[in-house]
Every structure is written in C-alpha cells, then in structure tokens.
Structure 1
Amino acid sequence: MKARLVVFPIKGRKWCFARSVDPAAADSQAAHTPSTLRDLWNRISSNPKPLNANAELLLDFASNKMNKAWVGLEKAPEGTLKNKLYGLGLRLLARVKPSEIFLKSISKEVSKVHVAYPSSLNARLVRRRLRHVALRGNFIHKKYFYGSVSLLPFTFAFSVLPLPNIPFFWISFRTYSHWQALQGSERLLRLVSDCIETQKSDASNKSKDEIHKSLGCPWVLEPSEELEKLLCIGDANDGVNKNAVSDICKTFHLNKNDILKFWDSM
C-alpha cells in the first residue's frame, strides 16, 4: 500500500510530519478486523498463523472495541458520567505528542511512501529528517512501551473501587499506542533507508525518476510548488500561521487537529 507523507517546516528547525488521510484504506482495514469474539476465534483457529500475526489480530480487535467505546462516550448526554469521562479522555489525549500520531499512521501495510515537501527544501535534508524522526521514535517508544507494560499489573488494584478503572484503560491505551508508534518508526526507517545508493548516482545519465523505477525504490520525493506557496502566507518570522495550516490541510487532506499540535508546540 502506498502512503503520501507531507513534510514542511513550521518555524525554524521545527518541522511538521503528517500522512494524508485515506478514508478508503481505513474502511478496508476496519472491514478485515473481526467484530466479535466468535469471529476472532474463527480467524485464529481456522487459519493457523505465526504467534506475532495472531497477536496483531488480537490487538486490532481490542483497538476496534476501544474505538467503538470511545464513540459511545462522545455521544453521551452532557452532564452524565460518560460525558465527563469523555472530557477527561480529551484532556489526556491532548498530551499525546504529534510525532507519535504521525508514526502510528505508518502501518505495516505501507510498502511505499510518496513524500511531498516545499520545493525550496533540499531533498536529502527532507529524507534525513524523516530518518531522524524514525530513529528517535524507535528509541523513545521502545522505552515507554516497556515502561507502560510494567505499570499494567499495578492498575488492577483500582478494580476494587466501584468506579471505572480509568488508570487501567489509560495505561492499556498508552501501551498499545507506544507499540503502534514503535512499529511505525521501524517501518518508516526501513522504507526511507532502502535504495540509499541512489543518492550516489547523480553523476549517472539517468534521471532520478528512472533510477527510482529501475530499482523499485520504496520512497519517492515530490517537491511541491503549491506547498511552497501556501507556506509563504503570513509573517515568515513567526512561522506558519493558522490560516496557512488550514489551507495546507485542505489541499493535502491532512487532519487539522494533528497539524495544530505541531503548531501549538512551537
């Protein structure tokens, strides 16, 4: 599966990394995720797979259930306990770093990335920045994943209270989130590190497009004049303003809330 990534500087050395929203891919993944325990058991028992594949299927099933429960909280009447839990969840989710959201979007199905970036930037710099994000994410999310796993047993102590075990659900979510970001960082690192020898082929008579096609490179760098023009809106000294962010999100089909997290972190 091909994924389109959008990379651009927000202000100075702080850059934004995002993946274009693809509703069709999301619907396709949801359709292949079992919806009931019976379906999950049939998928696991009818077609024996390696342990890691079954573990991923189980995690996808749990994630799907958590998403449905979250939608239920969102629709709860105002003032109810569920509505208050939803508000608490929003405050907690606001603390999730935008780089984690980006890495989580690089799923295991992604086999090729097309990277759109402002035409004024150097292509090697863009790819180097992507590799840096992947390397740093690999280190950080591996550490926090094992840390979250070690905290899970302690959250069972809250189950004796006559209230929802919020610490357990939050730590479970963070464990799964760090695991997704870790898998995404490893996947992205493999994608943008392949065909590294093509960067040394500038002296060849072939064009870069011909080199990419001949080697089947899993990454394609796409300088964008349109993105360059959108970034010029507003005062360059203060970074990209919110109007430019909105236009970029509409043009490149990005999640505005995720991009604003990069903007707010300036």
Structure 2
Amino acid sequence: MRAKVVVFPIRGRNWCFSRSIDPSIRGDQSPNTPSTFKELYNRIFSQHGKKSDGDSKVEVAVDFVSNKMNRAWSNLENAPQGTIKNKIHGLGLKLLSRVKPSEIFFKSIPKDINRVDIVYPSSLNPRLVRRRLRHIAFRGSVIHKKYLYGSAILLPLTSFFMVLPLPNIPFFWILFRTYSHWRATQGSEKLLQLVSEASSNPNESSVEKAESGVKGTDNSPSPLWVFEPSEELQKLLHNKEAVDGLSESAISNICNKFYLNSGDVAKYRHSI
C-alpha cells in the first residue's frame, strides 16, 4: 500500500505535512469491520479459519468502537437546532478544533503502508524534507504514546459520571482522545520506521535523482520513498502574506490541487 504526502512551508519555520487522498478513491467502512456485537464476538473468539493474534483482535475491537463513535457523531450532527444533541455537537466541534494538525496527519497513515510518495516544492532540498519528516515522526511517536497512557488512565475515572442523568461527555471525549492518540501513535511509529529504514539504506539514488530532477526507472528496486519535486506547488507558494505566511487563497488552491483538507492545513500556520 502506498500513500502520497504533501510537504511545504506554510509560515516561517512551520511546515505543513498532510496526506493527499483523492475523493474518487475514498472508502467507507471496511467490509472486514464487524457492524454488530455478535459479529465482533465471532471475529474475536471464533476458532474457525485462520487464528488471529492478539494485536489483530485488539484492532478489530478498536475499529468496531470507532465505527460506533462515528455513527453517534453523525446522529449528533443531524440533530435539529436547539436540541441537546445539537448543543453537544457544537461543543464537540470546539473541542476538535483544538486537536493539532500533526495528530490528524499521523492518524491518516495506515499501518500496512509500504511506500510513501513525497510531494514538495521544487526549491527545497529533498534531504531536508526527509529530515523534517523523520523529526516529526520521532516526536509524534513519543508525544502520542505519552498522551495515550494518560488518556487510558483517565477513562475509569470519567466512567463514574455515568450515574448522572446527563450524557457522559467527559467519558466519551476521553474515549475518543484515547483512540485518537492510539491511531496517531501507530501512524507516527510506522512513518518513523519507514524513514529509519530508508535512511539506513545505502542506496540513496532516490534522493540524488530528486535533487537532479531525474525520475526513477522500473529496473531499480522498489524504494520506500519516492521524492516528487513539484514546480506547480512551488508556483502556488508565491501567493504569500508577509506576516501570517500563506494566504487563505493560496492554501485553498493548494488543497484543491493536491486533495488536502483546507481546515487541517490552515492549522499549521499557528502550530508549534
């Protein structure tokens, strides 16, 4: 499996890292994800077929809970104006707006990925791009693992609010944050693994070809990274604001061209 990642400076030393996903190939719920508790039970405890390991069972359970949370969120989003569900949805949007864009980026990296296509402005050095990716991957793996443990510890404490005759918002929020940090940890560790393997590989031809503007050939071994310097992305970066980095129009044009989420990209302007 391969993924396309777009990298570019957005404001001073702040760089944007975002996965490009073509809307035509977006998928809904995986057919392998159980939709009912009975299916979940059978997937985890069934003795038929290939026996799955503990990690795969955990992932099936987490995906099941994730789909339930997504459906519940959709119900809140479609609730009539002025209702309690609608107000809870508004509160959820405010909380989600505080989630850092790097976390969203790491969550978009699947664990079964084996190749990354890196799109970056042609004026940047590909070695610098790879170094920045390695840095954020290492930093993300440390930070999100720490927050994962912290959120997991808070889950039993927030469950005591179940006795109140109101929706247990703290519990569901901490549950979401636990899941989110778990996915971000997986994505950052996978990204770090690929970067480390690529950096330890004595064959640096992909970097050298990116620097010289020469594309790889089919005779070369399949690389973990494919650097794609983009002249078009470089031109779009010219539409800047002197103080606040890229303008909203420039961000919108880049997002439309490379299939990025403009809201997530804009967060990088003020991300530390």
TM-score by length of 2: 0.90
Other-structure match for 1:50: 53
Match of 1:247 among 237, 247, 253: 253
Tell me how many residue pairs correspond in the alignment.
Answer: 264
Please say if residues 4 and 19 of structure 2, whose CA atoms lie closer than 8 Å, have aligned partners that are also in contact: yes
Over 3 Å counting, the alpha-carbon distance change for 1:22 and 1:53 in structure 2 is farther
CA offsets, 1:78-127, max 9 Å, x none?
00000000001001101100010001100113221101000000000000
1:106-125 paired onto structure 2 within 5 Å = 106-125=109-128
Q: CA separation in 2, counterparts of 1:91 and 1:162?
A: 23
**2:164 is the counterpart of 1:161:** yes
Give the gaps of 5 or more residues in structure 2. none
Aligned mates of 1:210, 1:265 — CA distance in 2 = 35
1:104 aligns with 2:107: yes
Cα distance in 2 for residues equivalent to 1:198 and 1:154: 51
Alignment-derived partner of residue 6 in structure 2: 6
The answer for the alignment partner of 1:31 in structure 2 is 31
Mark the CA change 1:237 to 1:73 in structure 2 (over 3 Å): closer, same or farther: closer
Indicate the larger mover: 158-167 or 24-33: 24-33
Q: Distance in 2 between matches of 1:211 and 1:190?
A: 25
**Using the alignment, how far apart are the partners of 1:56 and 1:208 within structure 2?**
41
Task: Measure the CA separation in 1 of the matches of 2:172 and 2:92.
Answer: 10
Q: 1:22 to 1:61 in 2, by over 3 A?
A: farther
The whole-number CA distance in structure 1 between the counterparts of 2:250 and 2:204 is 32
Superposition TM-score, scaled by structure 1 size: 0.92
- Relative to structure 1, the CA distance from residue 191 to residue 208 in structure 2 (aligned partners, 3 Å threshold; closer, same or farther) is farther
- State the shift of 1:263 in Å: 2.6
**Range with bigger deviation, 20-29 or 153-162:** 20-29
Aligned match of 1:263 in 253, 262, 269?
269
> Given the alignment of the two structures, is residue 180 of structure 1 paired with residue 183 of structure 2, yes or no?
yes
Match of 1:225 among 222, 231, 237: 231
| CA contact 1:18–1:254 (8 Å) conserved in 2 | yes
- Alignment partners' CA distance in 2, 1:131 and 1:213: 27
**Per-residue CA distance 1:39-61 (angstroms, 9 max, x = gap):** 22232314420011010011001
- Higher mean alpha-carbon deviation, 39-48 vs 184-193, is at 39-48
Q: Do the aligned residues in 2 keep the contact of 1:7 with 1:15 (CA within 8 Å)?
A: yes
Paired residue type of 1:123: P
- Computed over aligned residues only, the root mean square deviation of the Cα atoms, in angstroms, reads 2.3
Q: What secondary structure is seen at the aligned counterpart in 2 of 1:181?
A: helix
Measured after TM superposition, the shift of residue 261 of structure 1 is 1.4
1:198, 1:211 within 8 Å by CA — same for their partners in 2? no
Q: 1:146 to 1:215 in 2, by over 3 A?
A: same
Partner residue in 2 for 1:215? 221
Residues in 2 aligned to 1:168 and 1:264: alpha-carbon distance in whole angstroms:
29
In 2, Cα distance between equivalents of 1:28 and 1:214: 35
Per-residue deviation, 1:208: 6.6
CA contact (8 A) 2:16 2:268 kept: yes
Partners of 2:242 and 2:234 in 1: how far apart? Answer: 12
Q: Which runs of 5+ in 1 are unaligned?
A: none
**Residues 212 and 143 of structure 1, relative CA distance in 2, 3 Å threshold:** farther
How much does 1:234 deviate?
Answer: 3.1
Paired AA for residue 51 in structure 1: G
Q: Distance in 1 between matches of 2:271 and 2:97?
A: 11
